[in-house]
Structure 1
Amino acid sequence: MVKSKRPNSHIQNDFNDDIYNHNKPQLWIGPKRVPFGGLKDFQYRSGCGIKDYNRWHKGQPNDHDNNEDCVYMVIDDYKFLGQWDDYPCDTEMYYICQFVLDLRPPCNQTNYNLFGYNETIGERYRPLSTNTVPPKNITDSTQMVITWTTFNATNASTVEFGTKSLSQSMTGFSTQFTDGGNEKRILYIHRVVLTRLTPGTAYIYHCGSTDGWSPMFRFTAMRNDSDWSPRIAIFGDLGNENAQSIPRLQEEVQRGLYDTVFHIGDFAYDMDSDNARVGDEFMRQIESIAAYVPYQVCPGNHEYKYGSGLMNNHYYSLNIGPAHVISFSTEFYYFLQYGWKQLLYQYYWLINDLKEANKPENRALRPWIITLGHRPMYCSTDDRDDCTHKQSIIRKGLPIVHTLGLEDLFYESGVDLEVWAHEHVYERMWPLYNLTVRNGSQSHPYTNPTAPVHIITGSAGCNERHDSFVKNPPEWSAVRISDYGYTRLHIINASHLSLEQVSDDQNGKIVDKIMLIKDSHGIRHKKDSC
């Protein structure tokens, strides 16, 4: 990137007209016009803009014939040497390539927030079901987004709602969606944003139009203060077939046991199967969960179809009670055929988000930092997955170069709890960093530990059944359970957080439970691990 006068001068001097063929007299330097942007809105592929430095020739850019979306540097005319002009992108010219020798953010990190935001399961698979989800601006607890899908276009997208009766009505919009399978099935995705809700208040609602209405559902508007104790159901790897946990989750959600649900990757097995009919059926099954509480997700390896490695809504963060929760994509590390840019953007978005969460005023309000990702750093299964290796990619970064790993980042940023799935088991680790147990004390390991706690909860039930454990677990593995089930997370207050593992095989029995206690929260330093 040309971010100042100095590299601009280097380029204009090193690639002047005495050096190469005059048949290609100019030099592409990288910026491209932002889609739907203004005349001077250009970006590099890194996502960085050009407002801090540019050297436009007089009267440029002018976007002649609405076809000049790329930027070149003049190097064949000494009168205008080094100046910039916009030009059609399909013109053949020489160009400059930038090789990244270090992975520091190439521009202000706040730019990366453009690619991380809150949403539920991708629109590609909306079935005939109803979902609730907080709005993209998750801090606005006066809103709730209702989403549903129909096989036919309707005359309106409407939600009728109220506290005791359907006394209010809001309309939204629908979009036509064509599935990526060979049948190219067409569905209509409807979205309505409910506004002016009272945080913590229960509402009833139904959605549809005069063409037909859904059953009656209910939800409670999310609170946005930190002085409450959210209860959350967490699990991963839940499919249509052998979906053993669904009936119990349906019952517990409708009994009001949870404020939200986090599904940590791998849905339906698979959402795209049979031209997305498997996804349709899965969404119908979870409607009796997702229509009552926000159903938050992150991607897993089974969501790889149709470019799952591309940048969209694969990572986000939200505040809930006294916790800051970060959901991110581990799949960017493994599906590099879709490119590496999304991995780099996510990594620096994580840095930026964790820095923001650790500002004293923010950490005082939300002392707990919890991360959610599909593929774990550690596991003791015998399936040869990446987490079984000492140098796992999520933990240490990309092979050979060992960069973009997350263990050091999460450790130094004071992450308290890391929740994973992918392995079709439940496994709880001792407080852990760099393959070393960091218990608070021998008698109270989860009281003031000096490293994050890792939990794997990937046994909700799917057609791939269970994974098996190695016979002799490493010393950092505390508890291993192969029952089908899910995890309950109760963020009690600023210092206490409880985790329970529910066994569906044993009729809802709690088969594991810990209380994580932290008298203080904050960033850590590597020297603390010595």
Structure 2
Amino acid sequence: MILRIFAISAIIFGAVSPKKVEQVHLSLSGKPDEMVVTWLTQDPLPNVTPYVAFGVTKDALRLTSKGNSTGWADQGKKKVMRYTHRATMNSLVPGQVYYYQVGSSQAMSDVFHFRQPDQSLPLRAAIFGDLSIYKGQQSIDQLIAARKNNQFDLIIHIGDLAYDLHDNDGDNGDDYMNAIQDFAAYVPYMVFAGNNEVDSNFNQIVNRFTMPKNGVYDNNLFWSFDYGFVHFIALNSEYYAEEMSKETQLQYKWLGNDLAGNSKKWTIVMFHRPWYCSSKKKKGCHDDQDILSRDGLKDKFPGLEELLNKYKVDLILYGHKHTYERMWPIFNAQPFKSQDPGHIKNAPAPVYILTGGAGCHSHEDPSDHIMQDFSVKALGEYGYTFLTVYNSTHLSTDYVDTSETSGKFLDPFVLEKD
């Protein structure tokens, strides 16, 4: 009751300032009737309970859910303290628009809104890696415009956030998270680690976000969830690159159990470092740190490609290389080509998409690359992959060039299965 009074008084009397609440963003918990909201304050909330107030109209946020707080120190020399607050809205109705506001008795945010996903409808998702403000503002602007036009149900960032979250004693991360608030506070924003999040044992990505729990570490570094016809899996390729054998093996065991228990028609796997792509080298993407997760090494680092192929994963997306490239279905470096590269039916192996060109500092152009035999389409424009899952038999991807706010679609592709 006290929380409810605080929420109403904040709205009616304007007694608190939204300025102290920042970096508001949504994420999925894995339960279809829940929505998680995470936000930061630069100051602690002693003897104060953070909460979210929400409802179906902007002027009547009568429902409340208590949050929890985590204080954590940045890894910079100043050891700047920040405070992350998390709350979960539950018993939500699919398709319903909800309005919400987060904060405490000390300060409240603006009022935001979201539509609780209706998983019986087609899924629309933006997927990309390698985005910063410095070179990615055009992509951020386009994502905001697309969000305002209700073009997304979900946004997934596959590593390398902000370049880097920890720079300038974490101020860079604050600036980035505030810059994306205009889409991330309205559409679930799912993340996992790339190489730029490794610093100080993944300190920033562990403490700034709230991803589905995996039952192993529950620290945002690998996770999965179901959405309609799809099972999404996010893996931490940096365990391999950093030669973290224990973590690698635990993730592999978890992945095997997760795939074995998966009953969804489509399975989409994502990680940061690429296994296959064209580059300036004759062998293409073949860096030891990148392909260790693919091939493995003795008993210390179990390879993932055979496991993903065994469980008939449909689509694999990654970033790290700062361009876009769609490939044929591939297994063991061998492409499976068919008559129409724009429409593949009953693919015998996963289709691969490199989508690392959202807004990196050092962009790559395919004109400088030696194109590999497994490559179908390579593009140098800044942008992201747009995924649509229609039903149990058809999904599509396309590449959105963000040089224009309206977005230009450059690589239509359909994946079909019986």
Compute the TM-score of the two structures, normalised by the length of structure 2: 0.85
For 2:250 and 2:332, the matched residues in 1 are separated by: 25
User: Does 2:165 match 1:260?
Assistant: no
- Structure with the greater relative contact order (CA < 8 A, sep ≥ 6): 1 or 2? 2
| Matched letter for residue 144 of structure 1 | M
For 1:354 and 1:484, the matched residues in 2 are separated by: 33
- Deviations for 1:501-526, whole angstroms, at most 9, x for unmatched residues? 0012355111111011111xxxxxxx
For 2:281 and 2:201, the matched residues in 1 are separated by: 26
- Deviations for 1:35-85, whole angstroms, at most 9, x for unmatched residues? xxxxxxxxxxxxxxxxxxxxxxxxxxxxxxxxxxxxxxxxxxxxxxxxxxx
Compared with structure 1, are the counterparts of its residues 429 and 443 closer, same or farther at alpha carbon in structure 2 (3 Å cutoff)? Answer: closer
For 1:442 and 1:489, the matched residues in 2 are separated by: 19
Deviation of 1:192 (Å): 1.8
For 1:177 and 1:453, the matched residues in 2 are separated by: 40
Q: Which residue of 1 aligns with 2:226?
A: 319
For 2:185 and 2:99, the matched residues in 1 are separated by: 11
Query: Equivalent residues in 2 for 1:210-229 (5 A)?
Result: 210-223=105-118, 227-229=120-122
Q: Which residue of 1 aligns with 2:335?
A: 437
Deviation of 1:389 (Å): 5.6
| Matched letter for residue 149 of structure 1 | L
Q: Which residue of 2 aligns with 1:9?
A: none
- Deviations for 1:193-252, whole angstroms, at most 9, x for unmatched residues? 2222212211011112332221111112234x5x33110000000012111310000111
For 2:87 and 2:371, the matched residues in 1 are separated by: 49
Q: Which residue of 2 aligns with 1:196?
A: 91
Q: Which residue of 2 aligns with 1:149?
A: 40
User: Does 2:136 match 1:238?
Assistant: no
For 1:513 and 1:482, the matched residues in 2 are separated by: 16
User: Does 2:390 match 1:492?
Assistant: yes
User: Does 2:373 match 1:475?
Assistant: yes
Query: Equivalent residues in 2 for 1:331-342 (5 A)?
Result: 331-336=238-243, 339-342=244-247
Q: Which residue of 1 aligns with 2:18?
A: none
For 2:286 and 2:245, the matched residues in 1 are separated by: 24
For 1:198 and 1:421, the matched residues in 2 are separated by: 34
Equivalent residue for 1:354, pick from 239, 254, 259: 259
Compared with structure 1, are the counterparts of its residues 403 and 133 closer, same or farther at alpha carbon in structure 2 (3 Å cutoff)? Answer: closer
**Larger deviation: 422-431 or 165-174?**
165-174
Equivalent residue for 1:344, pick from 237, 241, 249: 249
Deviation of 1:130 (Å): 0.4
| Matched letter for residue 295 of structure 1 | Y
| Matched letter for residue 151 of structure 1 | Q
Query: Equivalent residues in 2 for 1:182-193 (5 A)?
Result: 182-193=77-88
Query: Equivalent residues in 2 for 1:125-144 (5 A)?
Result: 128-135=22-29, 138=30, 140-144=31-35
Deviation of 1:167 (Å): 2.5
Query: Equivalent residues in 2 for 1:432-471 (5 A)?
Result: 432-441=330-339, 446-466=344-364, 471=369
For 1:455 and 1:221, the matched residues in 2 are separated by: 28
| Matched letter for residue 194 of structure 2 | G
Compared with structure 1, are the counterparts of its residues 383 and 465 closer, same or farther at alpha carbon in structure 2 (3 Å cutoff)? Answer: farther
Compared with structure 1, are the counterparts of its residues 401 and 206 closer, same or farther at alpha carbon in structure 2 (3 Å cutoff)? Answer: closer
For 1:304 and 1:389, the matched residues in 2 are separated by: 18
| Matched letter for residue 228 of structure 2 | G
Write 1 or 2 for the structure with the bigger share of helix. Answer: 2
- Contact 2:343–2:413, Cα closer than 8 Å, also in 1: no
| Matched letter for residue 515 of structure 1 | V
Q: Which residue of 2 aligns with 1:376?
A: 274
- Backbone CA RMSD of aligned residues: 2.4
For 1:190 and 1:444, the matched residues in 2 are separated by: 44
For 2:126 and 2:152, the matched residues in 1 are separated by: 7
- Deviations for 1:260-286, whole angstroms, at most 9, x for unmatched residues? 110000001011111100011010011
For 2:300 and 2:54, the matched residues in 1 are separated by: 52
- Contact 1:382–1:469, Cα closer than 8 Å, also in 2: no
- Deviations for 1:112-167, whole angstroms, at most 9, x for unmatched residues? xxxxxxxxxxxxxxx931011123xx1x2222221111112343312221111323
Aligned with 1:307: secondary structure? helix
For 2:356 and 2:235, the matched residues in 1 are separated by: 16
Instruction: Quote the sequence identity (%).
Output: 35
| Matched letter for residue 408 of structure 2 | K
Aligned with 2:190: secondary structure? strand
- Contact 2:343–2:414, Cα closer than 8 Å, also in 1: no
| Matched letter for residue 166 of structure 2 | D
Q: Which residue of 2 aligns with 1:180?
A: 75
For 1:156 and 1:385, the matched residues in 2 are separated by: 55
Compared with structure 1, are the counterparts of its residues 353 and 384 closer, same or farther at alpha carbon in structure 2 (3 Å cutoff)? Answer: farther
| Matched letter for residue 218 of structure 1 | H
Query: Equivalent residues in 2 for 1:38-187 (5 A)?
Result: 128-135=22-29, 138=30, 140-154=31-45, 155-164=48-57, 165-187=60-82
| Matched letter for residue 183 of structure 1 | K
Equivalent residue for 2:312, pick from 399, 414, 417: 414
Aligned with 1:306: secondary structure? helix
- Deviations for 1:474-521, whole angstroms, at most 9, x for unmatched residues? 2110111010000100001101001010012355111111011111xx
For 2:95 and 2:233, the matched residues in 1 are separated by: 23
| Matched letter for residue 423 of structure 1 | K
- Contact 1:439–1:449, Cα closer than 8 Å, also in 2: no
For 1:512 and 1:449, the matched residues in 2 are separated by: 18
Q: Which residue of 2 aligns with 1:6?
A: none
For 1:436 and 1:413, the matched residues in 2 are separated by: 18
For 1:439 and 1:479, the matched residues in 2 are separated by: 13
Q: Which residue of 1 aligns with 2:291?
A: 392
Q: Which residue of 1 aligns with 2:212?
A: none
Q: Which residue of 1 aligns with 2:209?
A: none
For 2:235 and 2:283, the matched residues in 1 are separated by: 19
| Matched letter for residue 193 of structure 2 | P
- Deviations for 1:424-446, whole angstroms, at most 9, x for unmatched residues? 00000012222222134468761
Where structure 1 has 5 or more consecutive residues not aligned to the other structure, the ranges are: 1-126, 520-530
For 1:313 and 1:260, the matched residues in 2 are separated by: 17
For 2:221 and 2:276, the matched residues in 1 are separated by: 22
